[in-house]
Structure 1
């Protein structure tokens, strides 16, 4: 089913010149003179590049269906990371190059979203929030309760983030994987 530029909405994915694009922003413009057009800001879902372009409202594009599937992270072997489909138990190896920087917050057995287009995996999305144990950090000192002072800490996945001074090794904390920020102690 074709996608028509005049029907663009945020989140619509379509194919243009072999690229898979997702509409981030759109604006219908009707100038006093001349034909109407659709000003569009789009993101290439595979490379992440953002571009702007204007289209005629009657322009047609091929619909691009991006599959997002929940899979369980099993283990890493060299540059290959193995994921299992929890319904079929099929294992899928994915190259380290495909993984984003925030994959450092994923530990074995976590459920992640595998994004693919026409069978080709282009992204692995970890959950937005994870709970991880702090394995290494400098000890806090009694009375050291400054709220905006941070220190480096190593997590059970090997990732390093900055945490408040009162966090001790062995504590479980919450992290926002999109920003890599400490959110609080896990409950």
Structure 2
């Protein structure tokens, strides 16, 4: 579907220069001389490269709508990640490059959303939060306040984050997958 150049919003996927690009950031610019334009930071969905592009309102761009399907994560085989369609039980494999840095959060049986353009998978969207176990952290220092001081902790997936002083090894914590930060202690 064709849209005006100034109608691009963050998160939109467009076809540009023969590739699929996701708009990451936009900024409306109106210089003192000349017409207004939209400065867009784009990220390539295939190779992750970034591009800054200017679009005027008179330009038309092709907006691409991606299909999202829920899949269940099964296992890792070498550098391939295997997922199963929960409706048809059909399995697909994605490379570590396709899954990206978020692979550290994948857990057996986790439901993820995979984006498709036609029949080719483009990427994996994880749940907003995951529950992980703290395997190592520093002991609590007596008299330390729980206000805003965090201590380093290593989680069972190898990720290092900051946690409040009352969290100790063996505790389960909720972590935001987007920011990779501590959210709360798990029940």
Same fold per TM (> 0.5)?
A: yes
1:103 positional shift: 2.2
1:41-73: CA deviations, max 9, x gaps?
A: 132241444433223422222232223322111
> What displacement does 1:87 show?
1.7
Aligned to 2:153: 152
After TM superposition, the score normalised by the length of structure 1 is 0.80
Q: Which 5+ residue runs of structure 2 have no aligned equivalent?
A: none
Q: Distance in 2 between matches of 1:55 and 1:138?
A: 49
Match runs of 1:77-116 below 5 Å: 77-116=77-116
> Paired residue for 1:40?
39
Aligned-residue CA RMSD (Å): 2.7
Aligned equivalents of 1:133, 1:167: Cα separation in 2:
11
**Alignment size in residue pairs:** 183
Name the counterpart of 1:18: 18
2:74 corresponds to? 74
Moved more, 141-150 or 124-133: 141-150
Deviations 1:95-143 (A, max 9, x none): 1222222321221111112123333223222212111222x21463584
Which 5+ residue runs of structure 1 have no aligned equivalent?
none
Distance of 2:141 and 2:53 partners within structure 1: 57
Structure 1 stretch 54-63 or stretch 87-96: which is displaced more?
54-63
